[in-house]
Structure 1
Amino acid sequence: MSSIKIAGATVNQTPLDWSGNLNRITCAIEEAKKQGAEILCLPELAITGYGSEDLFLSYWFPKKALAQLELLLPHCEGITVAVGLPIRIQDKVYNCVAVIENAVVKGFVAKQFMAIDGVHYEFRWFTPWKANEVVEIEFQDQMVPLGDLTFQHKEIHYGFEICEDAWRGKLRPGYRLCDRKVDLIFNPSASHFAMGKTALRKELIEESSATFDCYYCYANLLGNEAGRMIFDGEILLAKSGKLLSRNKLLSFEDFQVKSFYLEPKTQDIAFINSKNEEFVQASSLALFDYMRKSRSTGFVLSLSGGADSSSIAILVAEMVKRGIGELGLEGFCKKAGIKNLPTSQHPEKELMKQILTTAYQGTKNSSDDTFSSAETLAESIGATFYHWEIDEEVKSYTAKIEKAIGRKLTWEQDDITLQNIQARTRSPIIWMLANINNALLLSTSNRSEGDVGYATMDGDTSGSISPIAAVDKFFILNWLSWAEKNLDRPGLAKVNSLQPTAELRPLERTQTDEKDLMPYAVIVEIEKLAIRDRRSPMDVYLILSEELKLEPDTLKDYIKKFFRLWSRNQWKRERLAPSFHLDEFNVDPKTWYRFPILSGGFAEELAQLEQL
């Protein structure tokens, strides 16, 4: 067996990009052949892309996927290739892997368990296959087996668990494969990225190889495939409880191939990065894929000088830096669709000037500190920087309303109105800049603000994509301090010296975010229990009263405020721009946490807290 070489491959696919998807697969196959691999495993649904959503329900889409499979066959001469695609049988669609041996399809393995938690919604599209069941379907005028199959290659007996199949404990197909005495299990996956998840995946693969006493090979999709989910492109090999090989994750390349001889010795194991590093890796790749797949020329950002917008500016800068580092200057520009290649001695900054346009939109309530912070940061990364005042526009809107209602607006009576009009007034002009540049407008909302609605609809929530909406503000603040030192971003020094504030009230009112809400560190703890773990207000109080050093009445007030604001602001979360899934959970109602727009607002549950 030691003379046999196998490989896993990752590909960065896009729904409906039929020719591009096929080309990336064929390139991966050719690379696997060059590396001398005899069996290559590609990811789940690699032919169509995992994120094809309701396209899977149509009759024509799975049929087109089979036609693409036929086009793939000539490229599989002299190698065995496993590749994922959907297959429709009458009114049901199955998530399958086609096993091609020397240009002939030997069979289709069907997925037995559907992912239905968090960002996954597979039961909407696919029907789970029954264990031990095999049928035949017609393909190229031949009857081909489909179902719960295993295969033989020389002296290797191998089978498959498809992504979710491996996460089902004692029910998983691996136990039956072990009973059939397989030597090797492949796991073609579309496993979404979340910070810290690769450590869990490593544990699963090692335990699987030990439990089933076999080689276990895992291959995941790569990149921001369809807008929200990011795939890290992880390829793993383990044997008898020991990890033998792992590739470098979150590549800017179209594909990666990792090959290994089947022999139980350590080969090449890439380092598992910290959560801070994973965040910037995943976000920079996601931004790059979103920009190029949407055929945009770059990004526009309303740069306030505060933490949220500054973190996004750094992520774009890291996108350029890391993309050039991996693809080379010419390769990066070609893939990004940038025609004017930099000619200066500082190509990264020259590219940043093209790709990221920023604007500081001040009012009489803005401070010199935030302007200086924004200007310094933009200059340090090379972004185009504009600045203007919006007081005239705010005054115009305010005067019209005052005339209509017959009274003056005051901060004592109209606080929220006067704050919101400033944030909303910034939106039309920054959208103009995005339209002029054919660029994506970056929204600056974070998850903590999404929790409690501390954002202005059609103001700071305006945008084409919201890069940090799935991470909490406490994480962002700590990440910025880390980034200043570890990413060598001295332009963040002023940002990190400022107290987070919306700067929408007069300066003498000393507005800060945490004064308006509660400490961001507390919001994080409440949302983990209330949203991630789905705990009741009483459960949240009882748990946090043991964990946080807060006065009981203060903690109760924070919890009541969180739940009241959460229920009241679901309509805002419904309207947030698409965001990347980056953490273990998020509050996007389209992909993770559904909540009624109208509700009783936990009235009875919160009243119980008063009785303690």
Structure 2
Amino acid sequence: MGSKIKLAVSCLNQWALDFQGNLERITEAIKQAHELGATYCLTPEISVSGYGCDDHFLEIDTERHCWEVLEELLQLEECKQMICDVGMPVVHRGSRFNCRIIFLFKRILLIRPKTACCNELNYRELRWFVPWQKSKTVESYLLPQNICYVTGQSHVEIGDGIIETGDACIGSEICEELWTAENSHVSLGLDGVDIFTNGSGSQFSLQQLHRRMDLIKATTRKMGGAYLMCNQVGCDGGRIFYDGCSMIACNGDIVACTPQFSLKEVEVEVATVDLEDIRSFRVSKPSRSMQATKESEYPRIKIHGFFMCPDGLISQHDLSCTLPIQITYKTSEEEIEFSASNWLWDYLRRSGQSGFFLPLSGGVDSSSVACIVFAMCNLVCKAVHDGNKGVLSDVRRLVHDQSYAITSPENLCNDIFTTCYMASENSSVATKQRASSLAKRIGSNHLELRIDTVVSALLMVFTAVTGFIPKFTAKGGSRRENLALQNNQARIRMVLAYLFAQLMQWVRGKPGGLLVLGSSNIDEALRGYYTKYDCSSADINPIGGIGKTELKSFVSYFCKKYNVQPLREIVEAPPTAELEPLEDGEITQTDEVQMGMTYNELSVFGKLRKVALCGPYGMFTKLVQLWKQTYSPRQVAEKVKHFFYTYSINRHKMTTLTPAMHCDAHSPEDSRHDLRPFLYHNKWTWQFRKIDDHVAKLEEHEIVTKKK
């Protein structure tokens, strides 16, 4: 017999609870893997129901429909000579597990439950699943009747076991198990597993891919073996985006990888590995061999058959070993472009709407959203040019024209994207010109309107009822009046945005409505520097998980890549809300002055608060060292106290944040990622006193040191 085996990984764009669509995509992956000569085909985590089902996992219907889908998969002719591996929830003895179903044609080999659930940040697996805690143990599982009729089996093994064929040994990990301190692959490798499989749902975040790659390369470099990791791509129903890159590694090298940020719904990659290379790699490490002799055995589910290819076999499939490949990582700016535009495209095509509406102010935030929509149009055009019929079909459905032909990204942008500059008497000529120039360059259907009459009408109602006329501080009013007048303008823009989004396609003689896009970034949300229910309140927000500093870098990169010259002025202009009166036509209001901190400082506050898990005192002690060349301890203390005060009085705004694509670890998004109170004692009495005590000690120490 030979020693080579061809393995396949798939990358699927699944959709939560879309059982029919998910079945079709899994079936297509299995067929492609079979055509490429694979003898093992792996799919992503919970690929049958979709990973993003959330509390729908608690419904018995979800598991029932998964078994119905599996019934169809078990009967695929392609599974006669190929082991297939799909993910779905399974209830066993009254407990629900996140499982892999490993099967051949009309025969389930093993149900392998996840042994370590992910329960941090965006993940809440312990809300729906329990981990399998019986290490190296399998039990008997009673199959549903519909599966019994197909397979002839009444029971199968469920648990922490491995598959042993006549020539290879295959063991599973599931997503989080790769990342835990005590990894399954160590015990599996020491017990002689040649091929590790990991059906995963690994979310995108900035610069996450290289960490995922490094882990898999390090695993196989340490243990030897072939490691298959599958991932999803796209948005399966929520804030999380999956960037793809299903991969195969062997003995420390990546040998196959699906594209990152693909618009294809099904991607399959195969690699041929030589098991003799794996075994030679392992026996060359005596320390590993000594540890292996002490390792207890896993239960083995044995298959009477061979899955390696005989030496010298003449076939249509190339049996030479797949050579290592070099992975090129994208920059953060490129990742923002491709992830956000992919997420927008998935949301748009599945929402049933006809495009997007964006209040375009001429600032960095709204301009970056406009750039992302234009990037989406470029991706769509390229996909259609490359022959992606699914994308073309989606575009034609969006524009309600089955003969529609995409001639350019700008033309597509004009058909599905409306931008609107909503001016008031406080708006400058410069921002209006910048918004207009950007819209013209990207081809959006651009509108310009004034909101002053609506603002005045609303204030007239207030005055008629109360007899009071509020004024800006520049005209003698109080801070409360000033803030109310600013918020009034901002909220009117939100109301107008939804009015125009619902009716603009009708005005243009086109069917459908538009999704309203928000443009509030991480830093503004964290600081609470925006109006609750203004035009940051929208249907979705592609930049809600990105900070201002990263957005400015992205816009600069985008300007160069697509030659969008209006962006140069936008990046260089000081950020401003333009809600207060102008002086001689010039703005007097800037974001950083009003916030009392810079956007760079806000980014640091956010990372220390969320990623480093610092309270006020912990943040102060870190920043005293980090900023010692710039600020005195007392200045640092005042900045920290000011941040936590403004953060706490505005935290309630997080409960109404527009759903945004998760992108960065310090996101303050309240619904899922950042579970903290929204009602605080905003004086932080104890914490701030400890900071003041620390400042006094530092200042006293400095005085004593100078005297010496």
Q: Do the structures match in fold with TM over 0.5? A: yes
Alignment partner of 1:252 is 2:263: yes
* 1:573-588 → structure 2 map (5 Å cutoff): 573-588=654-669
Q: Would the aligned equivalents of 2:10 and 2:43 in 1 still touch at CA under 8 Å?
A: yes
Q: Could you tell me which residue of structure 1 aligns to residue 631 of structure 2?
A: 551
* CA positional deviation for 1:212: 2.1
Report the AA paired with residue 398 of structure 1. L
* Partner deviation per Cα, 1:392-431 (whole Å, 9 max, x = no partner): 1111111221232222212221111011001011111110
Q: 1:416 pairs with 483, 506, 515, which one?
A: 483
Report the AA paired with residue 102 of structure 1. F
Which deviates more from structure 2 when the two are superposed, residues 395-404 or residues 219-228?
395-404
CA distance in 1, matches of 2:106, 2:4: 22
Q: Could you tell me which residue of structure 2 aligns to residue 534 of structure 1?
A: 613
Q: Could you tell me which residue of structure 2 aligns to residue 515 of structure 1?
A: 593
Q: Would the aligned equivalents of 1:364 and 1:391 in 2 still touch at CA under 8 Å?
A: yes
Q: Could you tell me which residue of structure 2 aligns to residue 299 of structure 1?
A: 356
**Aligned to 1:4, what secondary structure does the other structure show?**
strand
Q: Would the aligned equivalents of 1:159 and 1:185 in 2 still touch at CA under 8 Å?
A: yes
CA distance in 2, matches of 1:345, 1:60: 41
Q: Would the aligned equivalents of 1:248 and 1:270 in 2 still touch at CA under 8 Å?
A: no
The structure number with the bigger radius of gyration is 2
Alignment partner of 1:568 is 2:643: no
Alignment partner of 1:429 is 2:509: no
* CA positional deviation for 1:606: 2.1
Report the AA paired with residue 686 of structure 2. E
Q: Would the aligned equivalents of 1:98 and 1:107 in 2 still touch at CA under 8 Å?
A: yes
**Aligned to 2:186, what secondary structure does the other structure show?**
helix
Q: 1:324 pairs with 371, 378, 381, which one?
A: 381
Q: Could you tell me which residue of structure 1 aligns to residue 293 of structure 2?
A: none
Q: Could you tell me which residue of structure 2 aligns to residue 41 of structure 1?
A: 42
* CA positional deviation for 1:285: 0.5
**Aligned to 2:197, what secondary structure does the other structure show?**
strand
**Aligned to 2:75, what secondary structure does the other structure show?**
helix
CA distance in 2, matches of 1:238, 1:29: 20
Q: Could you tell me which residue of structure 2 aligns to residue 355 of structure 1?
A: 416
**Aligned to 1:569, what secondary structure does the other structure show?**
helix
CA distance in 2, matches of 1:462, 1:489: 27
* 1:306-455 → structure 2 map (5 Å cutoff): 306-328=363-385, 331-336=390-395, 337-338=397-398, 339-340=400-401, 346-412=407-473, 413=478, 414-436=481-503, 437=505, 438-455=513-530
Report the AA paired with residue 472 of structure 1. G
Change (3 A) 1:490 1:536: same
CA distance in 2, matches of 1:103, 1:210: 36
Structure 1 segments of 4+ aligned residues over 6 angstroms from their partners: 341-345
Q: Would the aligned equivalents of 2:606 and 2:666 in 1 still touch at CA under 8 Å?
A: no
Number of paired residues?
A: 611
* 1:189-228 → structure 2 map (5 Å cutoff): 189-228=200-239
CA distance in 1, matches of 2:42, 2:57: 22
* Partner deviation per Cα, 1:161-184 (whole Å, 9 max, x = no partner): 000011112x22212212321011
* CA positional deviation for 1:69: 0.5
Which deviates more from structure 2 when the two are superposed, residues 118-127 or residues 529-538?
529-538
* Partner deviation per Cα, 1:114-136 (whole Å, 9 max, x = no partner): 00111000000001002112111
Alignment partner of 1:610 is 2:701: no
CA distance in 1, matches of 2:31, 2:619: 54
Change (3 A) 1:344 1:105: closer
CA distance in 2, matches of 1:385, 1:452: 31
Report the AA paired with residue 304 of structure 1. S
Change (3 A) 1:603 1:476: farther
Unaligned runs of 5+ in 1: none
Q: 1:273 pairs with 307, 330, 342, which one?
A: 330
Q: Would the aligned equivalents of 1:300 and 1:441 in 2 still touch at CA under 8 Å?
A: yes
Q: 1:591 pairs with 667, 672, 683, which one?
A: 672
**Aligned to 1:127, what secondary structure does the other structure show?**
coil
* CA positional deviation for 1:90: 4.0
* Partner deviation per Cα, 1:88-124 (whole Å, 9 max, x = no partner): 1243110000111234211111100000111000000
Q: Would the aligned equivalents of 1:245 and 1:269 in 2 still touch at CA under 8 Å?
A: no
CA distance in 2, matches of 1:356, 1:227: 22
* Partner deviation per Cα, 1:229-267 (whole Å, 9 max, x = no partner): 011112122222233233321110101001000146634
CA distance in 2, matches of 1:2, 1:565: 65
CA distance in 2, matches of 1:515, 1:457: 20
Change (3 A) 1:520 1:239: same
CA distance in 1, matches of 2:405, 2:361: 29
CA distance in 1, matches of 2:124, 2:411: 42
Q: Would the aligned equivalents of 2:163 and 2:169 in 1 still touch at CA under 8 Å?
A: yes
CA distance in 2, matches of 1:589, 1:420: 22
* CA positional deviation for 1:154: 4.0
Q: Would the aligned equivalents of 1:63 and 1:87 in 2 still touch at CA under 8 Å?
A: no
